[in-house]
């Protein structure tokens, strides 16, 4: 929809250029007739002169900032996955309606949002961009083209190419011959079912929104969180890397075994050395091949992409050649005879005829076969017993589809290492083979074979189903193409594998199927002997197929590692996120080549295959888990377009993956899980925090909700009671934590167990203190992290501190997970504070904690408490058990001694005996009580007799009360005095006016309005009234009902009277202070505090920590300040003190 803009000149002779998004001063008015020439966005626009060039025209200026959905990196909080820095200069078309124009930065118009979404493109940050960057030589970048790949080219063929590969050509015939047709079909169905179920789960995840570059890693990490995502992503990377090793080993095996056997560097002189020679050749040639492929990938990945179709064509042609060869066997089976000695298969490489002797010119001569089993060419030479007793026969290796060989290949033929490959239907004389027979030219097993080994070797042939999801950015409609293409590719390859298993078993002789390297057919590839028109079609096709697959692995694995590194979830991998200027992952490629070299040094295809099977199976397991979890949790964002999924299928696929891991190799499975667990814990401990809306978080929320509902049912039993702390922190002017040692004490007391809520209060309103609130929360979280305090932070903004603390005590926590203990610091400067609210807030917090039935812990001199890094040596934790309040005093030292800071401290318990108490019996009873509580502590009973009150105590009480009285008289602030005077002034004025109106109504009617002099007279009257009342109170001469005296006051007399009144009041107050006597109740309380302090200081001054019962505040709020003085007297001379006030219930029990 087009817009018409009128560009208005700001100054005469100055034109404003730019229309559309580049114009800052425009007026949009489609109804105006005098419109300047319309321009497209980006063109220059020159204003025509107006009729009145001097007229001032108001300018409507919109500051249209770009929508802040992303920060330059594709994030999940943006609807545009490919939102980059380039988008930040693109503004939304149009503006919001006037009602919403203040919110344009955060809430664009719907039409603008839809327009942005409609123009969305998502190209993978992979090979295509690198290729374009290499070709980009001009100052301008190439125009990004929208993805055009469909289902067939974008998903189906890449999956087909990745699934079909080295195992099909090199090992499938051997698996069929060893495991038999039935078990081979079971292996194929088991593995293909696993990948099909995984593909269904993957399709659901892939169609639940856009999947950018990263493929399976992206899906798993965003579904299961950064910990699982990083662990499984790295496992998938290792699997892809070892797959590269397997493909390179397959390439070298084809090269040295079937194409140029004479190129071998290490040649075995004896048959027993052949295995080692082959492995050494694989290592040398494999390393060279790896280096060559790495250079190709480094130089330009575009060459790999261009050759992909060639490699795919080789795979398809090879498979077609196999089917053509099978059909040809019906009419004309190929001639590949097998030489059998008795029922044993011979290696047909060092002899040309399958005969012991032959007749030449009527002479019987021995053949090369004779020389292999005898110690000379003579007819009377000493020969192997089995060779002498059994005849040599030729058997057709490929009898054809119409033969009945399929019935012989139905069952498995497993055997140990070195077992001879024999045909049980042929006659044999001489029975069991000796240990030395395997070094004769027989075909033997090179490894011990069993069912689970076959599964591990075969499974890599069904991997590669993620190829479509990895290319999601290149697809025209990824959410449609990925499910259809992937599932069709798996169905196609499953059909190919099933038919190949049946056709191989129906066409090829069993002994030839079990001949892994084709030694019985003169070193030909077994599957090649079946193909048409020539075995070389399969050999060349499989060679290029393995080369292409190896290059694809070396191309994809570094990019996967780069995606993980750029996510920043694994700190030590961040260096691998960098590369060349065009983004090519150079460092990741080097690491990939290094890991790939490890697989090549293993050198055995059969040993490497189970390793990568583990990593792929683990990846598939978590894809199924992610789908099942999202389905069961029913998260609002779980809306996949692919509807043919179910959580039961995902769980079945997950179980199948787990079973296959242990079927393939239980020890490899344990190692793979250990690697994944280590990575998971490392990311959890050191990794960056990411919030990706993953399913594990949703699972945690559901579990937390369930647990909270269960906790709500009943209060915790005494055995399960532990302090759930609400820590009240004070902040400085910069919102920093004043007493971080309070968090240290929390950590030492909790040791990560239970609930900890760290709260603070900011004074003001939330609208004005929003920034300070966020800053305070961030500072508290940083302090908690530094002190290793595990818990939650809660910042409350309130009109005053008292209400804020009250709100925290009442509302912190949720359901059954609420605090039961309040921890706070002692207000150390309450005497010096000008504002009495500091200690009043403290006392009110004590009262509210008691009213809420919460325990209270008050730490005095908290800054002297040990940090988490300190280690206290010899010392004691002294508990002064004066009154019983539920056992908190017993429980807290036990909890503290669990932490390494207090572990070496001993526990001592002191209790106080009165005059009538039996201290000896008290000690015995307390020792028995501690024995039943299973607590180790020294016990001491301190006797406190009722001594006379000392003069010091009397004087201390008197000073306390005098100070309190003086503060009360000075308590009214200026604002409060003015408010009181104003109220009295208003009342007196009304009284005077009422009296005047009653005395002279006629005069008032004729009198003009009051002036400033009248006001002064009113104030003078007021002062006189107040002074009269004051003098009457002082001299006790007030007379009830005396008429008020009306006098005329001058201004000077008014000020003199005010000053005299103040001096008189002050002198009276001072006289009262010197004549007052202390309250007897306060004297007794001070006496108790002083005497108890003397005993505590005498016994525990050297203790590392003193725990003491905290007396409750007075019921009469008038004695609050005296309460603070009592506590000061009680704690005087002690360093580290923790005042403890119980919650009104038992928190420790003697029962199990």
Per-residue pLDDT tens for 1057-1072?
556 655 555 444 445 5
State the pTM of this model.
0.67
Cβ(867)–Cβ(713) under 8 Å?
Answer: no
pLDDT at 199: 94
Rounded CA gap, 286 and 604, in Å? Answer: 11
DSSP class of residue 862 equals: G
User: Does residue 917 register a pLDDT over 80?
Assistant: no
User: Does residue 336 register a pLDDT over 70?
Assistant: yes
Q: Could you give the angle at the alpha carbon of 936 between the alpha carbons of 935 and 942, nearest 5°?
A: 100
- Residues β-bridged to residue 338: 395
Rounded CA gap, 1105 and 551, in Å? Answer: 68
- The DSSP code sequence of 734-746 is TS-BS-THHHHHH
**Lowest-confidence range among 345-349, 418-422, 1063-1067?**
1063-1067
> H/E/C letters for each residue in 965-1007?
HHHHHCCCCHHHHHHHHHHHHHHHHHHHHHHHHHHCHHHHHHC
Rounded CA gap, 461 and 36, in Å? Answer: 69
Range list of H helices, 687-836? 695-712, 741-750, 770-786, 801-811
246 burial (CB, 10 Å; 0-12 / 13-18 / 19+) is buried
| Length reported for the chain | 1152
Rounded CA gap, 1137 and 1133, in Å? Answer: 10
Question: What's the average model confidence in pLDDT over 323-352?
Answer: 89
- Residues β-bridged to residue 1106: 878, 1137
Residue labelled with tokens 């199990």: 1152
The closest of 933, 947, 945 to 894, measured between CA atoms, is 933
User: Does residue 94 register a pLDDT over 50?
Assistant: no
User: Does residue 814 register a pLDDT over 90?
Assistant: no
What are 370-418's pLDDT values in tens digits? 888 888 888 888 888 888 888 899 999 999 888 889 999 999 999 998 8
The closest of 251, 250, 752, 661 to 455, measured between CA atoms, is 661
Cβ(819)–Cβ(812) under 8 Å?
Answer: yes
Q: How confident is the model at residue 191 (pLDDT cuts 50, 70, 90)?
A: very high
Structure tokens at 735: 């919102």
Cβ(1048)–Cβ(1018) under 8 Å?
Answer: no
User: Does residue 478 register a pLDDT over 80?
Assistant: no
The beta-strand segments (E) located in 333-470 are 337-341, 344-345, 357-360, 363-366, 392-396
Question: What's the average model confidence in pLDDT over 825-854?
Answer: 81
Cβ(369)–Cβ(354) under 8 Å?
Answer: yes
- Residues β-bridged to residue 341: 344, 392
703 burial (CB, 10 Å; 0-12 / 13-18 / 19+) is exposed
Most confident of 203-207, 515-519, 652-656, 699-703: 652-656
Q: Is 766 strand, coil or helix?
A: coil
Q: Is 1141 strand, coil or helix?
A: strand
From residue 481, alpha-carbon distances to 173, 612, 816, 980, 1089 in Å are: 33, 27, 49, 81, 82
Rounded CA gap, 388 and 926, in Å? Answer: 98
The beta-strand segments (E) located in 629-714 are none
> Residue 605: CB partners within 8 Å, gap ≥ 6?
166, 170, 171, 246, 249, 250, 253
User: Does residue 747 register a pLDDT over 50?
Assistant: yes
pLDDT at 430: 76
pLDDT at 1044: 45
From residue 590, alpha-carbon distances to 230, 232, 284, 559, 594 in Å are: 20, 21, 19, 12, 6
What are 947-974's pLDDT values in tens digits? 655 555 555 565 665 556 555 555 544 4
Rounded CA gap, 244 and 232, in Å? Answer: 18
Rounded CA gap, 608 and 245, in Å? Answer: 8
Cβ(178)–Cβ(412) under 8 Å?
Answer: yes
What are 1078-1125's pLDDT values in tens digits? 566 677 778 778 888 888 898 888 899 999 888 888 777 766 777 888
- The DSSP code sequence of 495-554 is HHHHHHHHHHHHHS-HHHHT-TT-GGGTT--HHHHHSSS-HHHHHHHHHHHHHHHHHHHH
Q: Using only C-alpha atoms, what is the Rg of the chain?
A: 46
**Lowest-confidence range among 288-297, 312-321, 468-477, 870-879?**
468-477
Q: How far is CA 40 from the centre of its chain?
A: 47
The closest of 936, 951, 949, 946 to 912, measured between CA atoms, is 946
The closest of 557, 553, 550, 556 to 591, measured between CA atoms, is 557
710 burial (CB, 10 Å; 0-12 / 13-18 / 19+) is exposed
Cβ(855)–Cβ(1145) under 8 Å?
Answer: no
Cβ(211)–Cβ(123) under 8 Å?
Answer: no
Phi, psi (rounded to 5 degrees) for 198: -65, -40
Structure tokens at 380: 């009377």
Cβ(286)–Cβ(603) under 8 Å?
Answer: yes
> Residue 840: CB partners within 8 Å, gap ≥ 6?
802, 1120
Structure tokens at 568: 């920043």
The closest of 106, 49, 51 to 77, measured between CA atoms, is 106
Phi, psi (rounded to 5 degrees) for 1098: -65, -40
């Amino acid at each position: 929809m087009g817009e018409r803009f009128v560009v208005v000149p700001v100054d005469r002779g100055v034109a404003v250029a730019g229309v559309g998004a580049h114009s800052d001063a425009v007026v949009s008015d489609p109804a105006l007739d005098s419109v300047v020439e319309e321009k497209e966005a980006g063109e220059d626009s020159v204003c025509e002169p107006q009729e009145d060039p001097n007229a001032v025209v108001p300018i409507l200026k919109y500051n249209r900032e770009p929508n802040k959905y992303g920060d330059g990196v594709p994030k999940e909080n943006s609807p545009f996955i490919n939102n980059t820095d380039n988008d930040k200069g693109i503004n939304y078309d149009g503006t919001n309606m006037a009602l919403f124009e203040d919110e344009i930065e955060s809430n664009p118009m719907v039409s603008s949002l839809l327009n942005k979404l409609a123009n969305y493109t998502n190209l993978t940050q992979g090979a295509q961009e690198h290729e374009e960057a290499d070709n980009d030589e001009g100052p301008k970048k190439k125009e990004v083209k929208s993805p055009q790949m469909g289902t067939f080219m974008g998903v189906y063929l890449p999956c087909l190419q990745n699934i079909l590969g080295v195992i099909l050509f090199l090992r499938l015939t051997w698996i069929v011959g060893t495991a038999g047709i039935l078990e081979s079909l079971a292996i194929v169905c088991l593995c293909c079912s696993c990948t099909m179920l995984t593909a269904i789960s993957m399709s659901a995840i892939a169609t639940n929104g856009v999947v950018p570059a990263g493929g399976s890693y992206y899906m798993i990490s965003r579904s299961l969180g950064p910990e699982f995502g990083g662990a499984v992503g790295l496992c998938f990377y290792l699997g892809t890397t070892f797959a590269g090793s397997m493909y390179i080993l397959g390439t070298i095996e084809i090269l040295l075994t079937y194409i140029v056997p004479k190129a071998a560097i290490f040649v075995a002189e004896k048959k027993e050395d052949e295995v080692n020679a082959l492995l050494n050749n694989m290592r040398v040639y494999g390393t060279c091949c790896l280096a060559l492929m790495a250079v190709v990938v480094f130089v330009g990945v575009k060459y790999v992409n261009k050759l992909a179709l060639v490699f795919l064509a080789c795979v398809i042609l090879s498979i077609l050649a196999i089917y053509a060869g099978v059909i040809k066997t019906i009419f004309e089976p190929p001639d590949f005879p097998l030489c059998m000695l008795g029922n044993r298969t011979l290696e047909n490489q060092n002899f040309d005829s399958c005969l012991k002797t032959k007749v030449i010119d009527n002479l019987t001569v021995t053949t090369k076969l004779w020389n292999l089993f005898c110690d000379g060419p003579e007819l009377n030479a000493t020969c192997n017993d089995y060779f002498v007793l059994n005849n040599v026969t030729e058997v057709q290796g490929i009898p054809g589809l119409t033969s009945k060989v399929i019935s012989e290949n139905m069952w498995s033929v497993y055997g140990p290492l070195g077992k001879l490959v024999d045909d049980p239907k042929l006659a044999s004389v001489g029975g069991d083979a000796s240990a030395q027979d395997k070094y004769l030219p027989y075909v033997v097993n090179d490894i011990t074979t069993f069912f689970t080994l076959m599964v591990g070797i075969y499974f890599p042939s069904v991997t590669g189903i993620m190829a479509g999801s990895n290319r999601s950015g290149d697809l025209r409609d990824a959410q449609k193409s990925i499910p259809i293409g992937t599932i069709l590719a798996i169905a196609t390859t499953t059909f190919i594998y099933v038919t190949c298993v049946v056709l191989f078993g129906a066409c090829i002789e069993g002994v030839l199927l079990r001949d892994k390297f084709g030694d019985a057919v003169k070193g030909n590839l077994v599957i090649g002997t079946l193909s048409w028109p020539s075995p070389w079609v399969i050999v060349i096709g499989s060679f290029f197929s393995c080369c292409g697959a190896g290059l694809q692995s070396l191309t994809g694995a570094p990019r996967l590692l780069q995606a993980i590194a750029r996510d920043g979830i694994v700190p030590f991998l961040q260096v691998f996120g960098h590369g060349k200027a065009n983004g090519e992952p150079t460092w990741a490629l080097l690491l990939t080549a290094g890991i790939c070299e490890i697989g090549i040094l293993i050198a055995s295809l059969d040993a490497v295959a189970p390793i990568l099977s583990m990593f792929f199976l683990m990846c598939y397991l978590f894809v199924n888990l992610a789908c099942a979890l999202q389905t069961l949790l029913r998260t609002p964002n779980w809306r996949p377009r692919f509807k043919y999924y179910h959580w039961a299928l995902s769980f079945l696929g997950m179980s199948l993956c787990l079973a296959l891991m242990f079927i393939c190799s239980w020890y490899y499975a344990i190692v793979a899980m250990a690697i994944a667990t280590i990575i998971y814990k490392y990311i959890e401990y050191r990794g960056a925090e990411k919030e990706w809306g993953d399913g594990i978080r949703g699972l945690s929320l559901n579990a937390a909700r369930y647990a909270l509902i269960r906790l709500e049912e009943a209060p915790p039993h005494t055995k399960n009671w532990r302090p759930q702390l609400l820590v009240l922190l004070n902040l400085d002017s910069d919102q920093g934590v004043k007493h971080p040692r309070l968090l240290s004490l929390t950590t030492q007391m909790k040791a990560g167990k239970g609930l900890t809520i760290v709260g603070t209060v900011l004074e003001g309103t939330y609208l004005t203190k929003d920034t300070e609130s966020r800053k305070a929360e961030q500072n508290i979280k940083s302090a908690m992290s530094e002190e290793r305090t595990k818990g939650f932070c809660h910042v409350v903004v309130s009109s005053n501190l008292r209400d804020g603390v009250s709100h925290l005590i009442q509302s912190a926590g949720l359901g059954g997970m609420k605090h039961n203990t309040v921890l706070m610091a002692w207000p150390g400067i309450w005497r010096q504070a000008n504002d009495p609210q500091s200690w009043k807030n403290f006392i009110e917090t004590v009262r509210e904690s008691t009213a809420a039935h919460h325990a209270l812990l008050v730490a005095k001199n908290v800054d002297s408490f040990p940090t988490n890094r300190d280690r206290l040596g010899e010392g004691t934790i002294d508990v002064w058990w004066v009154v019983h309040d539920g056992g908190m005093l017993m429980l807290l030292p036990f909890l503290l001694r669990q932490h390494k800071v207090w572990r070496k401290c001993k526990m001592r318990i002191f209790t106080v005996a009165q005059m009538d108490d039996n201290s000896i019996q008290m000690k015995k009873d307390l020792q028995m009580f501690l024995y039943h509580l299973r607590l180790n502590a020294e016990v001491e009973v301190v006797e406190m007799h009722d001594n006379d009150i000392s003069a010091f105590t009397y004087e201390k009480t008197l000073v306390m009360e005098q100070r309190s009285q003086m503060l009360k008289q000075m308590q009214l602030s200026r604002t409060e005095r003015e408010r009181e005077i104003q109220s009295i002034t208003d009342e007196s004025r009304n009284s005077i006016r009422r009296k005047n109106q009653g005395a002279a109504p006629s005069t008032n009617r004729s009198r003009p309005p009051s002036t400033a002099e009248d006001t002064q007279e009113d104030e003078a009257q007021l002062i006189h009234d107040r002074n009269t009342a004051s003098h009457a109170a002082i001299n006790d001469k007030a007379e009830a009902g005396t008429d008020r005296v009306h006098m005329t006051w001058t201004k000077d007399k008014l000020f003199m009277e005010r000053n005299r009144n103040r001096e008189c009041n002050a002198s009276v107050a001072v006289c009262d202070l010197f004549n007052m006597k202390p309250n007897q109740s306060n004297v007794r309380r001070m006496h108790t505090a002083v005497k108890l302090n003397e005993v505590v200081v005498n016994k525990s001054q050297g203790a590392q920590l003193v725990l003491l019962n905290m007396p409750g505040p007075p019921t009469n709020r008038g004695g609050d300040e005296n309460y603070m003085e009592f506590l000061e007297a009680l704690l005087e001379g002690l360093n580290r003190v923790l005042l403890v006030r119980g919650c009104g219930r038992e928190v420790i029990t003697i029962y199990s």
